[in-house]
């Protein structure tokens, strides 16, 4: 796996798709992802007039420019340029458990696709973009603005897949780093399969959710959801090898996944963090993805 996870055309399409959604439904996006006790103002709520645009559902009626509306015969609202640019921080799992895929793509590839889509959304909304890539040697990218910086982040996110074997993520260390380095009120999105997340991490996730607008996206594979096609398969994972020799083996795999999924849901719910499960075979991302349901 020495090639980038995505090619230039795929990168451009995902960025453009996110930007288009941000232009069409900015309020709905922020409402669906918004959480945490720190509700800082979003970009566009500053004091310097920027432009006029068509009124959208959810806009503040006080921002309607009635004179411009009368001239154009279309309801227009005034937009404002913020005095600062709110940080947007992606935290992307690129460890060995994400190098797994049975149908369309690896889980790490879907994580990269989602990351680019979100970068398109928040670049369009003029956020300062940053990322923390969780690998054997994790990489931190400070929040910055500009097209060149966006391209640099894209290259990092689609770089070749992680090694097949490395230690599990130390979520205590990751969350502690985020608490110390992420600005108060930043928007933070965790993208992972959360295979090494435990109840011991709940307190730190809760604290991060209280300090930031935190969301989590759990990437799953079709075979994890429905392992029936694995019947009579000879499986190898690292140094472990086992044979799915009957329906009982399939049921054990399915139950183990269901238990793990329930534990992650409970942990995120108790910490006040919205959780969205995304299947690695999902091709198109849309606003419905942020509705809270599972997506095939």
Express each pLDDT in 9-54 by its tens digit.
Answer: 999 999 999 999 888 876 677 666 764 333 333 333 445 566 788 8
In this structure, the dihedral spanned by the alpha carbons of residues 116, 126, 192 and 204, taken in order and rounded to 10 degrees, is: 170
Domains assigned to the chain: 8-18+85-291 (3.40.50.410), 47-81 (no CATH)
| Cα-based distances in Å from 259 to 150, 193, 194, 256, 265 | 38, 14, 13, 5, 10
DSSP per position, 8-29: HHHHHHHHHHHHHHHHH-HHHH
Query: What is the reported pTM?
Result: 0.80
Confidence at residue 34, expressed as pLDDT on a 0 to 100 scale: 61
167 confidence band (pLDDT: 50, 70, 90): confident
E strand or H helix that includes residue 259: helix 247-271
| pLDDT higher than threshold 50 for residue 101 | yes
| Cα-based distances in Å from 231 to 148, 221, 242, 257 | 48, 16, 12, 16
């Amino acid at each position: 796996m020495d090639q980038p996870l995505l090619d230039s055309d795929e990168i451009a399409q995902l960025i453009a798709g996110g930007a288009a959604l941000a232009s069409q439904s900015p309020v709905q996006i922020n409402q669906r992802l918004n959480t945490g006790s720190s509700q800082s103002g979003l970009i566009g709520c500053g004091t310097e007039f920027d432009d006029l645009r068509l009124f959208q559902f959810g806009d503040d009626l006080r921002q309607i420019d009635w004179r411009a509306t009368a001239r154009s015969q279309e309801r227009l609202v005034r937009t404002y340029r913020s005095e600062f640019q709110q940080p947007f921080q992606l935290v992307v799992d690129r460890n060995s458990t994400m190098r797994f895929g049975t149908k369309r793509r690896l889980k790490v590839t879907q994580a990269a696709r989602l990351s680019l889509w979100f970068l398109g959304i928040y670049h369009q909304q003029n956020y300062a973009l940053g990322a923390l890539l969780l690998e054997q040697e994790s990489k931190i990218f400070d929040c910055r603005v500009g097209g060149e910086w966006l391209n640099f982040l894209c290259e990092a996110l689609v770089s070749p897949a992680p090694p097949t074997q490395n230690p599990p993520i130390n979520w205590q260390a990751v969350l502690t780093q985020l608490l110390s380095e992420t600005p108060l009120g930043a928007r933070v999105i965790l993208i992972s399969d959360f295979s090494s997340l435990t109840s011991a991490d709940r307190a730190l996730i809760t604290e991060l959710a209280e300090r930031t607008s935190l969301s989590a996206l759990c990437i799953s594979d079709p075979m994890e959801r429905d392992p029936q096609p694995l019947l009579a398969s000879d499986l190898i994972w690292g140094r472990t090898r086992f044979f799915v020799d009957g329906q009982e083996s399939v049921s054990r795999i399915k139950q183990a996944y269901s238990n793990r999924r329930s534990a992650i849901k409970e942990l995120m719910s108790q910490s006040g963090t919205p959780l969205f499960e995304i299947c690695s075979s999902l091709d198109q991302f849309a606003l419905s993805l942020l509705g809270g349901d599972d997506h095939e």
